[in-house]
């Protein structure tokens, strides 16, 4: 259940907590800067895009998984300290191989890797990274982003993927969804195009199962906004996001249920910023920056111990970590 008291006091808390650091942006707005915990090593040749957090039963051994579009690999780091643990590099067009991996999602002990140039989503078990199957081989053309949730009725995974053939032209086939069931074998069922909303260019997508909501980032320059859809039927929801226009390009989206907030990236090379929205009504609570991070594509959040961490891509080459315990 949502904590009503937390919702009421969140703007005050956030404003007070971040007052210790601030900067003036290119647009002459002043906002707070969150200090950095660590950076992963630089990998400019990888063209890093998206991040997923996996919580191990032993939280001290939790990982972040990061896609590298140019090197065709998924990089693995220690979520607590950023140490490099290895990578999965399977450059190729076969089953379980990668061609320009982009979006990435972890549900329970399963990881989904979107491959734009292989036109599919590869599925692996964690932590062994054993290939389990592929999604969308016959349905996807230029997939980018991915989200999903665990269906409590049967523990199946409901998966949503953004697809961008003919980007820039309004089309209603840009979100597709599947049901993935894990029993003795993996069963994948295509559920079709999700909803009938017209989108021009979509990448980032994220869901809130508890509130039956799907957020979609429309990256077309004339739009630059996030759209809220009903998670059941894909119908359009009227929210304050309808009139909130991003200054640059909406990219990463991350939900922190315990804090009742969404975090969204407004990607810029010299004016990078992150918006904090109220989870319930999607109103803007605050704008923050992240020290040492710019031009951010993907973000992810994860909890280690009592602290929530935000992980953000820095200029396509590394990942920065930021402790969000100040938001409690």
- Residue 296 above 80 pLDDT? yes
For the segment(s) 4-327, the CATH number from 2.120.10.30, 1.10.10.10, 3.50.50.100, 1.10.3720.10 is 2.120.10.30
What integer pLDDT is reported at residue 13 of this predicted model? 41
263: which strand partners? 254, 276
Mean pLDDT of the chain: 88
pLDDT band at 221 (very low <50, low <70, confident <90, very high): low
* 45-49, 95-99, 139-143, 212-216: range with lowest mean pLDDT: 95-99
The mean per-residue pLDDT over the stretch 275-287 comes to: 96
89: which strand partners? 73
What separation in angstroms does the CA of 52 have from each of 77, 102, 201, 295?
A: 11, 11, 22, 18
What integer pLDDT is reported at residue 153 of this predicted model? 93
What integer pLDDT is reported at residue 165 of this predicted model? 85
Q: In percent, how much of the chain has pLDDT > 90?
A: 70
- Residue 145 above 70 pLDDT? yes
- Residue 151 above 70 pLDDT? yes
Cis amide bond preceding 127, omega within 30: yes
* 27-36, 54-63, 188-197: range with lowest mean pLDDT: 27-36
What separation in angstroms does the CA of 103 have from each of 88, 236, 279?
A: 15, 24, 23
What integer pLDDT is reported at residue 24 of this predicted model? 53
Q: What share of the chain is helix, strand, coil (3-state, %, to 5)?
A: 10, 50, 40
Rounded CA-CA distance 257/280 in Å is 10
What integer pLDDT is reported at residue 20 of this predicted model? 43
pLDDT band at 28 (very low <50, low <70, confident <90, very high): low
The mean per-residue pLDDT over the stretch 114-134 comes to: 93
Rounded CA-CA distance 76/82 in Å is 9
Burial 186-203 (b: 16+ CB within 10 A, else e): eebeeeebbbebebbbbb
The mean per-residue pLDDT over the stretch 21-38 comes to: 72
**What pTM was computed for the model?**
0.89
């Amino acid at each position: 259940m949502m904590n009503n008291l937390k919702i009421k006091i969140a703007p005050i808390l956030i404003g007070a907590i971040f007052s210790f650091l601030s900067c003036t942006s290119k647009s002459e707005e002043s906002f707070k800067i969150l200090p950095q915990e660590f950076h992963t090593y630089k990998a400019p040749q990888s063209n890093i895009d998206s991040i997923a957090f996996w919580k191990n039963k032993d939280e001290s051994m939790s990982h972040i998984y990061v896609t590298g579009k140019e090197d065709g690999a998924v990089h693995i780091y220690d979520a607590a300290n950023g140490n490099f643990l290895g990578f999965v590099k399977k450059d190729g067009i076969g089953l379980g191989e990668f061609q320009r991996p982009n979006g990435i999602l972890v549900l329970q002990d399963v990881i989904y890797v979107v491959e734009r140039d292989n036109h599919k989503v590869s599925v692996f078990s964690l932590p062994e990274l054993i290939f389990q199957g592929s999604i969308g081989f016959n349905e996807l053309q230029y997939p980018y982003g991915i989200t999903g949730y665990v269906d409590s009725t049967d523990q199946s995974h409901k998966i949503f993927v953004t697809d961008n053939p003919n980007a820039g032209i309004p089309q209603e086939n840009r979100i597709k969804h599947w049901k993935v069931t894990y029993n003795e074998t993996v069963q994948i069922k295509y559920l079709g195009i999700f909803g009938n909303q017209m989108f021009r260019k979509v990448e980032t997508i994220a869901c809130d199962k508890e509130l039956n909501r799907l957020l979609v980032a429309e990256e077309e320059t004339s739009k630059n906004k996030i759209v809220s859809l009903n998670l059941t039927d894909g119908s359009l929801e009227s929210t304050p996001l309808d009139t909130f226009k991003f200054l640059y390009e909406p990219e990463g989206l991350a939900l922190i249920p315990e804090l009742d907030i969404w975090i969204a990236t407004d990607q810029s090379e010299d004016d990078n910023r992150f918006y904090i929205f109220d989870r319930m009504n999607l109103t803007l609570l605050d704008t923050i920056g992240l020290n040492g991070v710019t031009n951010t594509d993907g973000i992810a959040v994860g909890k280690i111990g009592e602290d929530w961490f935000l992980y953000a891509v820095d200029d396509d080459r590394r990942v920065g970590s930021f402790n969000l315990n100040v938001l409690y």
